[in-house]
């Protein structure tokens, strides 16, 4: 074996396993040994024994000659926002310390049915609220490219583990960028599908109208294999899209009309929003305007990546998303509003944390929630409660819903002119741990490029596109129209066939 097992991605491992060049038990043991030595804080729970049992079972089935899918025997792990029957499910919160779900999330069950080996549960921001993984009750996660920096969030454990070659792939969720931004910060590939493509059943809810599951892996091809297994209609989720199962891997490999080996993306129109690549004005407080912008290193990496797309035959053109900056207030009204209601069930009555001492019901509620929730979760519950309150609902929540519709309409204007929208994932590379401790709004503002697709329910992905300040990875964002995951994955795959950013590994991964 010329390449060590941890360097192999999902597709490569799947092929090696199918060819019986390696057994699932060998891969599992190899990765468990690496995980045992990890110092990133990526894992909240390592399920070594059940993983070994799963690997043995898959090896036995393969030895018996059973037909197995491309994921059979491939080890992965789940963001701890998915509930799992055999492993603790904490959502990164003290509120759910030791919580044992009686059922698996649909996404988890589907991956298990596809034969993956589950190595455990991955750290994340508490209830998926955050963009640096610093809001986990179980400690931060470190970026494998620079241990003094954050890996992004909220799927920070997933991104760090995949980047550090502890895992070929992991599940994540994305509400306002929680797959794309950590993928960008950690130099890996991640896709948030169209809202409704993956079931939300068994996903601890943050903002129901925005939450979507998706994979984080090291290539578009690996993401395609994972997403094919994760996605599909689920009768237990009323917002699940009623569409036939998709083979995203086949869509990724399809040859475009008029394409050639040199120009695989011939005919593909890529729109770059003017508002994303020039200085961005962000209203930081009512009445005052502050000009910030995408940092130069990110801008240059994105510009270079767009040139590559051009060289592959794509037509890169300018489009406009005029309400981009409004995405921030709109998102930070709608998401907290839904969260404030979704998190009401954590009241100390039925499951999870309950305060040890209290004199009456009201005190039980107050102490339980004061002790169980972290600062960022409390902040969003308060914002959400406020914007839904009598007298404020029309001015905030209703107004935000109207703007949300307009933001979605803006995208449709763009998709009349292009097939894919491209731009940065985040205005900067990963920042240092603690850098935004005293300024939560600064972190909110940094979500500017991921929020629009979330609000519109569109699929978006992040692919490694270069390196910036501190030799940190920069991600390029691709956004497609509804259910155009195949188009995104195809374009990303073509880019990755022509570049090697996605193959670069941080020093700790060697």
Interacting residues toward other proteins by CB under 8 A:
82-83, 89, 91, 96, 99, 101-103, 105, 200-205, 207-209, 235-239, 337-338, 340-341, 343-345, 347, 349-351, 361, 365, 385, 388-390, 393, 397
Quote the Cα angle for 177-179-183, to 5°. 110
From residue 236, alpha-carbon distances to 199, 389, 483 in Å are: 8, 30, 20
What is the rounded distance in angstroms from the CA atom of residue 410 to the CA atom of residue 75?
Answer: 40
Nearer CB in complex with other proteins: 170/205: 205
Buried b (16+ CB within 10 A) or exposed e, 148-176: ebbbbbbbbbbbbbbbbbbbbbbbbbbbb
- Which is closer to other proteins, CB of 110 or CB of 142? 110
Looking at the DSSP assignment, which residues form a beta bridge with residue 285? 288
Between 80 and 146, CB nearer to other proteins:
80
Nearest in space to 180 (alpha carbons), one of 211, 210, 205, 155? 155
**From the candidates 89, 118, 136, 154, which is the catalytic residue?**
154
Annotated catalytic residue, options 24, 79, 219, 367:
79
Per-residue tokens: 250: 């086949």
Q: State the nearest-atom distance from the C-beta of 341 to other proteins, in Å.
A: 5
Alpha-carbon span 312 to 405, nearest angstrom:
34
Least separation in angstroms between residue 101's CB and other proteins is 7
Give ∠ CA 327-333-335 in degrees, rounded to 5: 90
Q: Which is nearer to other proteins, 285 or 360 (CB)?
A: 360
**DSSP per-residue letters across 273-310:** EHHHHS-EEEEEETTEEEEE---HHHHHHHHHHHHHHH
Q: Apex CA 494: angle with CA 490 and CA 496, to 5°?
A: 115
Residue 121 Cβ, how far from other proteins at the closest point, in Å?
Answer: 14
Instruction: Round to whole Å and give the CA distance between 159 and 164.
Output: 8
Active-site residue flag, 79: yes
Q: Is 39 a catalytic residue?
A: no
Q: Select which of 155, 178, 186, 228 is catalytic.
A: 178
Q: Is 136 a catalytic residue?
A: no
Task: Specify the residue, 354 or 502, whose C-beta has the smaller distance to other proteins.
Answer: 354
The minimum distance between CB 370 and other proteins, in angstroms, equals 14
For the bound state, the minimum distance from the C-beta of residue 397 to other proteins, rounded and expressed in Å, comes to 6
The residues annotated with a catalytic role in the active site are 79, 154, 178
């Amino acid at each position: 074996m010329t390449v060590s097992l941890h360097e192999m991605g999902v597709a490569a491992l799947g092929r090696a396993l199918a060819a019986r060049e390696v057994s699932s038990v060998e891969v599992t043991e190899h990765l468990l040994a690496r995980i045992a030595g990890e110092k990133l804080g990526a894992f909240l729970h390592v399920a070594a024994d059940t993983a070994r049992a799963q690997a043995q079972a898959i090896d036995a089935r393969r030895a018996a000659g059973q037909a197995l899918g491309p994921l059979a025997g491939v080890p992965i792990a789940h963001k701890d926002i998915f509930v799992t029957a055999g492993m603790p499910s904490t959502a990164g919160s003290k509120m759910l310390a030791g919580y044992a779900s009686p059922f698996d999330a649909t996404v988890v069950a589907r991956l298990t049915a596809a034969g993956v080996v589950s190595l455990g549960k991955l750290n994340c921001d508490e209830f998926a609220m955050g963009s640096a993984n610093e809001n986990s009750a179980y400690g931060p996660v470190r970026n494998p490219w620079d241990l003094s920096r954050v890996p992004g969030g909220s799927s920070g454990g997933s991104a760090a583990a995949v980047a550090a070659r502890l895992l070929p792939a992991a599940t994540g969720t994305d509400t306002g960028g929680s797959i794309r931004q950590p993928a960008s910060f950690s130099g890996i590939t991640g896709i948030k599908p169209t809202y409704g493509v993956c079931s939300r059943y068994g996903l601890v809810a943050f903002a129901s109208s925005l939450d979507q599951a998706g994979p984080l892996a090291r290539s578009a091809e690996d993401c395609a294999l994972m997403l094919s297994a994760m996605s599909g209609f689920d009768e237990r989720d009323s917002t699940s899209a009623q569409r036939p199962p998709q083979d995203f891997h086949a869509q990724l490999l399809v040859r475009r009309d008029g394409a050639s080996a040199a120009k695989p993306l011939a005919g593909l129109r890529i729109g770059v929003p003017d508002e994303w690549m020039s200085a961005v004005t962000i209203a930081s407080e009512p009445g005052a305007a502050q000009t910030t912008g995408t940092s130069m290193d990110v801008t240059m990496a994105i510009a270079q990546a767009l040139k590559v797309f051009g060289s592959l035959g794509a037509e890169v053109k300018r489009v406009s998303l005029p309400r981009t900056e409004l995405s921030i207030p709109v998102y930070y009204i709608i998401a907290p509003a839904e969260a404030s209601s979704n998190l009401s069930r954590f009241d100390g009555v039925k499951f999870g944390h309950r305060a040890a001492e209290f004199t009456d019901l009201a005190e039980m509620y107050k102490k339980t929630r004061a002790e169980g929730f972290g600062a960022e979760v409390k902040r969003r519950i308060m914002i959400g409660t406020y914007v839904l309150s009598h007298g404020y609902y029309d001015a905030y929540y209703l107004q935000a819903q109207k703007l949300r519709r307009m933001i979605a309409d803006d995208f449709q204007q763009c998709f009349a002119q292009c097939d894919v929208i491209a731009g940065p994932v985040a205005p900067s590379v990963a920042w240092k741990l603690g850098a935004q401790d005293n300024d939560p709004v600064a972190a909110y503002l940094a979500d500017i490029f991921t929020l629009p697709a979330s609000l519109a329910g569109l699929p978006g992905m992040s692919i490694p596109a270069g390196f910036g300040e501190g030799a940190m990875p920069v991600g390029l964002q691709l956004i497609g129209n509804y259910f155009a995951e195949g188009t995104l994955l195809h374009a990303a795959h073509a880019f990755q066939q022509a570049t090697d950013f996605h193959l670069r590994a941080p020093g700790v991964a060697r």
